[in-house]
Structure 1
Amino acid sequence: MSEISRGTRDRIGSRADELYPLVRDIRRDIHRHPELSFQEFRTTALVRDYLENLGFEFAPRYLETGVVALLRSLNPSAQHERVVVLRADIDALPLQEENISDFCSGEAGCMHACGHDMHTAILLGTASLLSEFRHELPGDILFVFQPAEEKAPGGAKPMIEAGLFRDYTPAMIFALHCFPHIRSGNVALREGSLMAAADELYITVHGEGGHASAPHKAADPILASAHIITALQHLVSRVSSPYEPAVLTISSISGGHATNVIPENVVMSGTMRIMNEELRSTFHHRLKKTVEQVADALGVSAELDIVHGYPVLVNDAAAFGLARDAAEEMLGASHVEESEPLMTAEDFAWYLQECPGAFIQLGTGRNEDRKGDQLHSPYFDPDEAALKTGMEVMSYTAIKALARLAGG
């Protein structure tokens, strides 16, 4: 397969059409039975049974949930150290679904509101499709069905730490994700930094309580908290360059319970999103100083806890170019868009620190406006026609990547 013919693309498109009803049913089954991060036991069993029937080789269990399986080429001239990875995430969100359909979530307070049911079904369909090329592939394809993308520290990092990339040394890795702002049938890509690093911020302000009529006899943590919030926003406007995307949001504040009582403590939390790892480090240092010194100036004390989240997701230039070319050849150039940077985060970024790869945005948007049709919404309802697009793009990208590695 050093050269990829039009016939190969036609085979992929035809088989994706034929597999679509099955893959749609799989997606709906997973959607009916969502499972939270690190609790995806049913989904893990479903994926494992499906791949076992295709004759895949299974890797060790790196975590309690999730599946890693190898499609080994049966091409006599294949080089088995030549490996490309395809990844899907399998967990759901703690969210009550508000859609009305015959395959809505059957689990109270749990929903696939980020499209991971779509991703899992697409990758299973891709596994079926690519298994039909196993006598032609010049190398092997590793399928990673990863748990816990939605819950920091996520499933990617512990899988890597458990030995995923010691047992396999892939040349490239690819994944896709549903995006409702992109029309179904299209994909979008971007070279370089695509998604932000995300850290969780937890601030506790300690003061001295007292009567609200005599604030001079107390040390007011509420007033200090207001000044801390304002000061933190200056980091975005005065420390980061206007050309560097950065977001710092305090999204929760709690303190006090009565109109005439100054409380002793205030607790705040929020998030920081940055597209530059060096600036991220600078912000960590300045955040701590700002919180502590503003508090001290107002006669209280404060402590900051930063929970480090996912790193910046950076698409490798060569992998991006290959994925873009594959999408344009498979779908047509008019169906491939240039993505804008996103301040959301993804633990696929951990893989990209170990292996060159690319993250592809899969359009799931419909022509008509739909209530709340956005990620993490209780009304999220992706266009299932995107399942076919996803299978086509993932299958052809893997084939093209192996052909490129083989010198084609």
Structure 2
Amino acid sequence: MQNDELSILATRVREAAQRLYPDIAAVRRHLHMHPELSYQEFRTTAFIKEYLAKLGIEPEPQLLETGVVAVLRGTGAPESKERKTVALRADIDALPLQEENSHDFCSTEAGCMHACGHDMHTAMLLGAASVLSDMKDELNGDVLLIFQPAEEKAPGGAKPMIDAGLLKRYQPSAIFAQHCFSSVQSGSVAMCKGGFMAAADELYITVHGQGGHASSPHKTRDPILASAHIITALQHLVSRVAPPHEPAVLSIASINGGHATNIIPGKVTMQGTMRTMNEELRSLLHERFEKTVKQVAEAFEVEADVEIRFGYPVLYNDPDMTDLAWEAAKEYLGDENVHPSAPLMTAEDFAYYLRECPGSFWQLGTGLADDKPGNLLHSPTFNPDEHSLETGVGMMSYLALRYLR
């Protein structure tokens, strides 16, 4: 495709995204006011279906109780065996968090908030569906629209959708998605080839001892003291087991035990997270984690139960698809608005799609230079710049058009 054709195409998409912005901002605000937790997104599902129906896009049969899948069929090329399908995904669930913003579209649901930008993601994919629906004659293939539930809660919605036959049924040859990041300037994107986001596993430890009077600790088997030493011992796993060049995080983030000043409890529970960027190191740290906990517990004559719950795998961006997304982003946004990203230790269940289908996942900038310190993901004051909706709608639309050519 010639550069002047691409320039014309990008201009058409920009103009469409600009015209659509007020509508998509209103959609985002509606979703923000009515958030729903993972696996409970029934109203959100109905809203998405209604919006797509107005575009003449019929949702496909349900794969899960919540979430929507739809196919937008392009008319820019005749039907053939070589016809491609590109998938675009948005997540639709919210977080169990009480909003502390003061704008006039705050969450109306107590203890529930779109604090990770999934309202933005959903609105942007609906916007892309609208843009592409009006440009079907430029689509040389089909676009699979995936509105996925339950990204925020393990085991997540991506794997159940894949297990229900999503990718086998529609056979996309590439898949793309984006995520709001206030650390990236609004109007720009940041991309990373290869390992981009970490595998995330949940850690659970229960230490069983013998409680008693705090004035006679020698007559007890103190699980609090043992737990303190377990936490300290676990810190060597990253510094002395993981190679220095391999990113890894191990954090014990919760410890609970005891309720009085003069009682040594009989039990302490701890929870934490482990983040790794490759499966070999992940397996090794799991083994050493359990061994360390058990051995320290034995030294203090207490018992320890260990549970490691596997979370999302490493998110690996296909290099070729990331190159394509990078070039498309430069054509659409300009060189100055496309940046390299370092790998992140956050986790995303989009990783499951990328295990089955080549694609890429990038950071969509939603931050401003004068943002308040609390404008962070998973914060009760997360407040992304809404003008980034226009960027996200256009980026998804242009990339789909570009890929299918």
Partner of 1:222: 224
Partner of 1:67: 68
Amino acid at match of 1:7: I
How big is each residue's C-alpha offset from its partner over 1:212-244, in whole Å with a ceiling of 9 and x where there is no partner? 222222211111111111111110000001111
CA contact (8 A) 2:205 2:306 kept: yes
Q: Secondary structure at the match of 1:302?
A: strand
Distance 1:161 1:102 in 2: 40
Q: Secondary structure at the match of 1:135?
A: helix
**Structure-to-structure mapping, 1:2-401, within 5 angstroms:** 4-79=5-80, 81-401=83-403
Distance 1:262 1:102 in 2: 49
Distance 1:206 1:68 in 2: 47
CA contact (8 A) 1:371 1:379 kept: no
- More displaced, 208-217 or 354-363? 208-217
Displacement after TM superposition at 1:133 (Å): 2.1
Q: Secondary structure at the match of 2:236?
A: helix
CA distance 1:89–1:166, change in 2 (3 Å):
same
CA contact (8 A) 1:90 1:145 kept: yes
Amino acid at match of 2:159: K
Amino acid at match of 1:237: S
Distance 2:207 2:34 in 1: 42
Displacement after TM superposition at 1:76 (Å): 4.6
Distance 1:214 1:227 in 2: 20
Displacement after TM superposition at 1:58 (Å): 2.5
* Structure 1 residues without counterparts, runs of 5 or longer: 404-408
- Scaled by the length of structure 1, the TM-score of the pair is 0.96
CA distance 1:15–1:30, change in 2 (3 Å):
same
Distance 1:79 1:346 in 2: 34
CA contact (8 A) 1:79 1:138 kept: no
Displacement after TM superposition at 1:135 (Å): 2.2
CA contact (8 A) 2:77 2:141 kept: no
* Corresponding residue pairs, total: 403
Displacement after TM superposition at 1:49 (Å): 1.0
CA distance 1:2–1:45, change in 2 (3 Å):
farther
Distance 1:11 1:79 in 2: 27
Distance 1:57 1:31 in 2: 24
Displacement after TM superposition at 1:78 (Å): 4.2
CA contact (8 A) 2:138 2:401 kept: no
CA contact (8 A) 1:229 1:250 kept: yes
Q: Secondary structure at the match of 1:311?
A: coil
Q: Secondary structure at the match of 1:320?
A: helix
Q: Secondary structure at the match of 1:177?
A: strand
Displacement after TM superposition at 1:2 (Å): 8.7
CA contact (8 A) 2:99 2:106 kept: yes
CA contact (8 A) 1:185 1:389 kept: yes
Q: Secondary structure at the match of 1:150?
A: coil
Distance 2:280 2:53 in 1: 44
Amino acid at match of 2:333: L
Distance 1:47 1:2 in 2: 36
Q: Secondary structure at the match of 2:249?
A: strand
Q: Secondary structure at the match of 2:356?
A: coil
Displacement after TM superposition at 1:192 (Å): 0.7
CA contact (8 A) 1:78 1:138 kept: no
- More displaced, 263-272 or 75-84? 75-84
RMSD: 1.3
CA contact (8 A) 1:56 1:72 kept: no
- Scaled by the length of structure 2, the TM-score of the pair is 0.97
Q: Identity, % of aligned pairs? A: 63
Q: Secondary structure at the match of 1:280?
A: helix
How big is each residue's C-alpha offset from its partner over 1:347-390, in whole Å with a ceiling of 9 and x where there is no partner? 10111111111001100001213140010111111101100100
Distance 1:371 1:236 in 2: 29
How big is each residue's C-alpha offset from its partner over 1:178-214, in whole Å with a ceiling of 9 and x where there is no partner? 0001110010000011111111111000111122222
Distance 1:133 1:328 in 2: 21
Distance 1:59 1:210 in 2: 61
Displacement after TM superposition at 1:70 (Å): 0.1
CA distance 1:76–1:275, change in 2 (3 Å):
closer
CA contact (8 A) 1:364 1:386 kept: yes
Q: Secondary structure at the match of 1:5?
A: helix
Distance 2:168 2:264 in 1: 56
Amino acid at match of 1:29: H
- More displaced, 48-57 or 93-102? 48-57
Q: Secondary structure at the match of 2:16?
A: helix
